[in-house]
A and B are shown apart, each in its own frame.
Chain A
Amino acid sequence: MKTYTDEALARAVYQIAAARMQAAGCEMPCSAEAFAVISAAAPDAVDYSAMAALCNPDFLDAAYILLLGREVDAPAKAAWQAQFGLPEAVFRTNVLTTILRSAEYQRNPVPLTGCPLPLMQDDGRNLLIAAQAMPERLVRLYQKMPRPVQKLAKKLAGKE
């Protein structure tokens, strides 16, 4: 007889249901890995460290369910799929900041704890979406440019 850890049992049970679901021509709402994380979550806070080991698609599933209380809707999933190839830290920052800033989350905010990602501006007033910020490397490059080139760069970037 096997003994399971909580996570391993969650995955095993989920996979049994997934096989039945597939046989019926349907899809499961999330991956088994995300499900294992979700199954033992505390009701009053979302612990980032529990999700830390997930790959990008699984992280997306878990973050939606834990922070918004629902599965990723199809349009959102399609939009996020384009970013699955991003580095984990960037992808996660994007997902979390988008969720935390959403009106849906703000209506029933569950605190996210233990997240080492840069979700908060230094002034502490709001969150940033890393993908929307100019990459730091470009900023450094820009700072090294001669002034006329800087002006041209600004024009090209539509900032002037």
Chain B
Amino acid sequence: MPETRVYIDLSRLCLTPFTTGIQRVAKEIVLRMLHDESLSVTLLSALPSQTAWRILPQDAFEAYYTEHTGSPFGDAVPQTLIPEDIPSDAVFFDIDSAWNMPMQRGWLFPKLKQRGVTVVSHLYDLIPVTEPQYFHQQTMRQFLSWITAVLQYADHIICNAEATKEALRTLCDTLEMQTPDCTVVPLGADFAQKAAGGTPEPGELPHLPQYRYLLAVGTIEPRKNHRLLLDAVPALAERGIKVVFAGRIGWNMDEFAKEMENHPENGRSFFFVKAPSDAAVRRLYQNALAVAFPTKNEGFGLPIVEAFLHGTPVLASDIPVLREVGGDLADYFDNTRVDSLTAAVDRLLADDTAYQAKRRTIAGYRPRTWDCAAQEMAAALRSCGSVQGDVPPQTAVTQIAVLTARNDDLLRTLPYLDANMPFITRMLVVCPERNIPALREGWQGRIQPEFCPEEQLLGGGQLPADHAVRNFLLRCRMMQKAPLDDVFIMTDDDYRPVVPVQPALFLKGGRYQGYYCYDLRRWKGTQGNYSDYDRSMFRTRDFLTENGLPALQYSSHQPQIIDRRIYLEMLDAFPGIETQGLDEWSSYFNFGIARHPRMFSAARYCTLTFPGAVTDWEIMYPPQELIFENFYADSYAAGGVFAGLPSDYSAETAVSVNAEKIRRWSAEMQKQTAQKAVTDTYRTMFRDRYACLPEFQLHMQEGRPVLRIPPLLYVPAGGVIRVPLLTDDAVRESGLPVIYGMDDSSGQTILPETELHLNDAVSGIGPELILALPVHGFRGILHIRFGEAAANCAVSCIEL
């Protein structure tokens, strides 16, 4: 079984018709990783939306890059993947030039990290940071964005040279931040050799005496420092040495190209061979005195390796990365001084016997292999991204703990737990002392209850009135004082398992499974009527983001596994938080996944009737399975989603009743999906027609309120549509309410006038109109007033 699951985004490689530079490295490494049995590799290429990928079929990818047949995308209908689909125990490995990809890592990495995915980046060099003047502005800016995300989020960095690792350390020192974990894996260089046949085209090369010229191969660009070579031409000519530039003119070198063209020694002491054929390059290498490589900086220095592979000596800039690659075989010079270069040439010319001996030594050069580089990279990935987590294998869960003040609810839930969670043998009940006798008397099932009076946890203190503040305080005290196992299941008195549950749901592959339902940063709650729950979510969002922690919402209304020691570690790390009314689930899991990524996995939740009605809030992450019921008595009343079904457990009917609940809730969610599709289609159509989105804007113009709304709104029948209002501080400070209502074309009220007070909004949460639509289609008018401003919008309500 593979030890590590690896996801690699090759969007640039797949779009590049030729594989040179970074794309060549990515290709060589990835092709080998596909055959590494310790890795399970998924190759990705971004879809046009740039928010998702297509999965590249491995056979098609391999055939394209080894046999040059077909396309790397294959012929089949693409399988797609969004960042949220990458499992928590996987490694996301960037080996391609990700800074050139529209899917910015500053956007992607936080999404991956908040779910515990390990991020590993390959760092080729830091030259756009240290010598940005050598790059096109856009490339430099994109690279800076990328390296910012890497520094902030990467768990591990693979460099191809010690010099690059050192540059990274220097950068982190300058920023006074911790240097990320780093492994140096030098690149391979045993490229498949091109066929050696063929000769240069007649006239392609000037007449050049053997071993009497320096050769500079590659694109002419500022960083490569061809200027030094051109400046050295006269001094070299005095020694009978010519210079050959072979390549093409690159970015920002137009003036240099003109200077070369008009140079009096052009065609005499130096030559420029534009875009030479492979045969010409080979001939040039074979007969050169040496390859000159006066570059200012490099990530690796593959041109040195290429020269050695042709048996040609190298004169290289005396910079650390080139010394790493060239070792004792190359000769070095100061890349700022012509006399240093000519002195190096003089040394080669001084002793022909020594020169020939050097060529013989170089002819025996064997480059490092790509196999070796790929193996070392795979080892680095394995070391930081093991599928097997760090929770000890002997960890077992037999205890469940519940906080309750409602005996009836707990007594109605216990039969579900008893029947469907057979591995649970004990339940710790934290409740008011007065509730204990009735609970003892009311339950005689398999699970043995133990009681912990909440008064004992509070030590004489009063319970706060706010439901969420109370719950968090009690949970924290429970962790500190109650007789809990180190690892247990935490639940509420109304979370019911509706199908048999295995321990692996909570603890799998050495990782605690945390189930999330939303992104807290996007939680809006109930506009204008925030519940204690909503306010707790906002507080938790602020706590997590201010402390640099991920911010997924784990209050998924289902039982979840807790490691009490990690909970206590969180309480120690943030003294006093127990009174801050945070969400007891989200604070813990986000803390745990950030501090102990190899002990946690994050997964989409498994709860039906959360939200109580699918229209209560837009489901952001649909449940992956339906295993638990968040019990609402209203769901069983007339008109409720479970109307007509028994609301209590019965061993005889449990299987069929619970199956029916799952069926009905699935249908509800499908309905919401269809309603969302109507809204999305409308927005797309509007955008295509008007080049902007259908947004409702409120602003103040010279002290007067102004409303701007789209002329037409398509909405789905039976849905609850939330229309965000775009406002600014002046609007909020105006104190003016927004009044809105809806009538159909016959004048009948569809939505009674509702008043929305904008200054009630919680910080960071935009106000919105909530349109609860009837189940039938109609045409009508949505009318809105904001102070003296008023506007109407035609509404077309579509029956699905």
How far apart sit A26 and B102, CA to CA, in the bound complex (Å)? 26
Against A, the Cβ 8 Å flags (1 = close, 0 = not) of B765-783 are 0100000000000000000
Within 8 A of B (CB), among A1-60: 1-6, 9-10, 12-14, 16-17, 20-21, 24-26, 28-30, 35, 38-44, 52
Contact B726 A6 (CB under 8 A): no
The one of A35, A89, A126 in contact with B690, judged by C-beta atoms closer than 8 angstroms, is A126
Contact A124 B712 (CB under 8 A): yes
How far apart sit A40 and B695, CA to CA, in the bound complex (Å)? 23
Contact B151 A9 (CB under 8 A): yes
The one of B133, B701, B712, B766 in contact with A21, judged by C-beta atoms closer than 8 angstroms, is B133
The one of A17, A43, A116 in contact with B128, judged by C-beta atoms closer than 8 angstroms, is A17
The one of B171, B176, B702 in contact with A136, judged by C-beta atoms closer than 8 angstroms, is B702
CB within 8 Å for A40 and B107 given contacts A109-B691, A111-B693, A116-B699: yes
Chain B residues, CB < 8 A from A105: 691
Contact B141 A38 (CB under 8 A): yes
CB within 8 Å for A26 and B141 given contacts A13-B151, A123-B711: no
Contact A24 B133 (CB under 8 A): yes
Tally of A-B residue pairs with Cβ under 8 A? Answer: 158
The one of A3, A10, A26, A126 in contact with B148, judged by C-beta atoms closer than 8 angstroms, is A10
A127 within 8 A of B: yes
Contact A29 B140 (CB under 8 A): yes
How far apart sit A9 and B548, CA to CA, in the bound complex (Å)? 13
A143 within 8 A of B: no
Against B, the Cβ 8 Å flags (1 = close, 0 = not) of A86-130 are 000100000000001100011001011111111110111111000
Within 8 A of A (CB), among B324-379: none
**Minimal beta-carbon separation of B784 from chain A (angstroms):** 13
**Minimal beta-carbon separation of A154 from chain B (angstroms):** 23
The one of A4, A16, A101, A122 in contact with B708, judged by C-beta atoms closer than 8 angstroms, is A122
B791 within 8 A of A: yes
B138 within 8 A of A: yes
B705 within 8 A of A: no
A155 within 8 A of B: no
Residue count of chain B within 8 Å CB distance of chain A:
56
B746 within 8 A of A: no
Residue count of chain A within 8 Å CB distance of chain B:
57
CB within 8 Å for A39 and B51 given contacts A117-B699, A124-B712: no
Chain B residues, CB < 8 A from A124: 690, 710-712
A137 within 8 A of B: yes
B178 within 8 A of A: yes
Within 8 A of A (CB), among B31-68: 49-51
How far apart sit A17 and B249, CA to CA, in the bound complex (Å)? 26
How far apart sit A120 and B138, CA to CA, in the bound complex (Å)? 31
How far apart sit A12 and B151, CA to CA, in the bound complex (Å)? 12
**Minimal beta-carbon separation of A107 from chain B (angstroms):** 11
11 interchain pairs, CB-CB under 8 A: A3-B548, A9-B152, A35-B144, A39-B145, A40-B106, A111-B687, A112-B692, A113-B693, A118-B708, A119-B692, A126-B690
Given contacts A29-B138, A29-B140, A39-B145, 20 further A-B contacts (CB under 8 A): A2-B175, A2-B177, A9-B152, A9-B175, A13-B144, A16-B171, A16-B174, A17-B129, A28-B137, A35-B145, A40-B104, A44-B51, A101-B691, A114-B695, A114-B726, A114-B766, A115-B695, A118-B701, A124-B711, A125-B690
